[in-house]
A and B are shown apart, each in its own frame.
Chain A
Amino acid sequence: MRILSKYHLSFISLVLLSAIVLAACGTPATPAPVATTAPVAATAAPAATTAPVATAIPAGKTVKIVWWHIQTADNEKKNWDDMAAAYMKDHPNVQIEITVLENEAFKAKLATEMQSGNPPDLFQSWGGGVMQQYAQAGLIQDLTDALKKDGWGDTFQPGPLSLFSYNGKQYGLPWRIGMVGFWYNKALFAQAGIANPPSTWAEFLDAIKKLKAAGITPIALGEKDKWTGAFYWEYLAVRLGGKAAFDAAYSRQGKFSDAVFVDAGTRLKELVDLQPFESGFMADGMAESSTLSANGKAAMELMGQWEEGTALNVATDKAAYTKNLGWFPFPSIDGMKGDPSDVVGGGDGFVIGKNAPPETLDFVRWLTSVDNQTKMAAAGIAVPPVVKGAENGLTDPIMKQIFQNTAGAKYFQLYYDQYMTPAVGGTVNDATQGLFAGTAAPDAVAQQIEATAASELSK
Chain B
Amino acid sequence: MRSVSGTSRLAAAPVEIQPRHRNGIGQLATLALFLLPAAIVYTLFVLVPIVQAVYYSFFKWNGLGGAPTNFVGLANFSQVLKDATFRGAFSHNMIILVLSIATQLPFAFALALLVRGGLRGRVVFRTIFFLPYVLSDVITGVMWNFIYKPSGGLLNSLLTIIPGFKPIGFLGDPHTVLTALFLVMTWKYFGLHLLLFLAALQNVPKEVEEAAAIDGASYWQTILWVVLPLMGDTARLSIYLSALGSIQIFDLVWVMTTGGPVSASDTMATYMYKFGFQRFSIGYGSAVALIIFAACLILSLIYQRLSRQQEIA
Residues of A within 8 A of B (CB): 7-8, 11, 15, 107-108, 111, 114-115, 117, 133-134, 136-139, 223-224, 226, 278-284, 421-423, 426, 430, 433-434, 437, 439-440
Contact = CB atoms under 8 A, between A and B. Distances in A.
B172 interface: yes
15 contacts: A114-B63, A117-B66, A279-B169, A280-B149, A280-B167, A280-B172, A282-B171, A282-B172, A283-B261, A284-B172, A422-B278, A426-B275, A426-B279, A430-B263, A433-B262
A11 B127 contact: yes
Contacts of B120: none
B174 interface: yes
Contacts of A117: 64-66
Contacts of A283: 148-150, 169-172, 257, 261
Interface string B149-181: 111000000000000001111111110000000
Nearest to A117: B66
A280 B168 contact: yes
Contacts of A223: 172, 261
Given A280-B167, A282-B173, 15 more contacts: A108-B277, A111-B277, A111-B280, A115-B63, A133-B280, A137-B62, A278-B150, A279-B167, A281-B172, A283-B150, A283-B172, A426-B278, A434-B262, A437-B174, A439-B262
A230 to B, nearest CB: 13
A136 B62 CA distance: 11
B260 A423 contact: no
Kindly name the residue among B66, B167, B260, B263 whose own CB sees the greatest number of chain A CB atoms within 10 A.
B260
Contacts of A439: 174, 262
Contact of A115 (B170, B173, B263, B282): B282
B261 A437 contact: yes
B289 to A, nearest CB: 15
Is the interface on chain B under 10, 10 to 19, 20 to 34, or 35 or more residues? 35 or more
Nearest to B127: A11
Given A114-B63, A137-B64, A139-B64, A440 B262 contact: yes
B281 interface: yes
Contacts of B123: 7-8
Nearest to A115: B63
B64 A115 contact: yes
B40 to A, nearest CB: 21
A421 B172 CA distance: 28
Contact of A433 (B131, B151, B257, B261): B261
A440 B264 CA distance: 13
Nearest to A225: B258
B274 interface: yes
A380 B275 CA distance: 37
A5 B263 CA distance: 49
A421 B278 CA distance: 11
B88 to A, nearest CB: 11
B249 to A, nearest CB: 19
B218 to A, nearest CB: 31
For the complex of A and B, the 6 pairs showing the least CB-CB separation, nearest first, are A280-B169, A280-B150, A283-B172, A282-B172, A137-B64, A115-B63
Contacts of B64: 114-115, 117, 133-134, 136-137, 139
Contacts of A137: 62, 64-65
Contacts of A430: 262-263
Nearest to A281: B172
A434 B261 CA distance: 8
B75 to A, nearest CB: 10
A136 B69 CA distance: 14
B260 A282 contact: yes
Interface string B38-68: 0000000000000000000000001111100
A398 to B, nearest CB: 27
A223 B260 CA distance: 10
Contacts of A434: 262
Contacts of B260: 224, 226, 282, 433
Kindly name the residue among A11, A421, A434, A437 whose own CB sees the greatest number of chain B CB atoms within 10 A.
A437
A282 B169 contact: yes
B258 to A, nearest CB: 7
